[in-house]
Amino acid sequence: MPSRPNFSVPLSRTSCVIGPRVNMTKTMFMRNGLLPDAPFMLNERNISECSSHVYLGRVVNMMNGLAAEMSGRRRAMWGAFKNIERVVKKTKNIRFHAHLFDTAALPVLTLRKQSEHAVSVIQRAVERTMIRMSLNTLVQKGLRSSELRRRTKIRNAVVYAKKSKVRWAGHVMRHSGDR
């Protein structure tokens, strides 16, 4: 059986030479499929293992990519919709429904866009709920969601996210560096 390379020795030496010390009480590691199930040691101390970590607002894990983040985004989207649901039920103005969706629910959904398909699935579910509240007869007639979206003027979440990203990039380009 081939011996496993010990990557912790160069890491330990380098961390001592560079300057800042590794805080051994806070240091953890995440195991991928290439790392065997042996304990990970650094400076002759056992490093604890974690299965997921939140880094820059995004859940990082080695098991199931975006599932945890998308379920959190889905909960946030429905939470934002629940805030405006009572108003949507009481008013009959379709354009006002679209405005409420664009201002309250859409920014929550597109805040950090990683998976366009999952975003569009969540958007369609919320749109169906909104449309069911106001355009029940159109749903019964079997109209497509694109036709309902055109009539209600609800923005497409994926297109909105792309335009927001371009708008932000333009803002950064115009930003002067002497702030």
36 burial type by CB count under 10 A (0-12 exposed, 13-18 middle, 19+ buried):
exposed
Domain-wise residue ranges, the chain: 8-50, 67-174
18-60 pLDDT, tens digit per residue, is: 666 667 777 777 776 666 677 777 777 777 887 777 766 666 7
Tokens of residue 69, six digits: 């983040």
Confidence of residue 169 (pLDDT cuts 50, 70, 90): low
pLDDT over 90 for what percent of the chain? Answer: 0
- Phi first, then psi, for residue 3 (nearest 5°) are -75, 145
Q: Where are the alpha helices (DSSP H) in 67-113?
A: 67-90, 94-100, 106-109
50-90 pLDDT, tens digit per residue, is: 777 776 666 677 666 656 666 777 777 777 777 777 877 77
Tokens of residue 12, six digits: 């330990």
Confidence (pTM): 0.32
Rounded CA separation 150/156 (Å): 10
Q: What is the pLDDT of residue 2?
A: 46
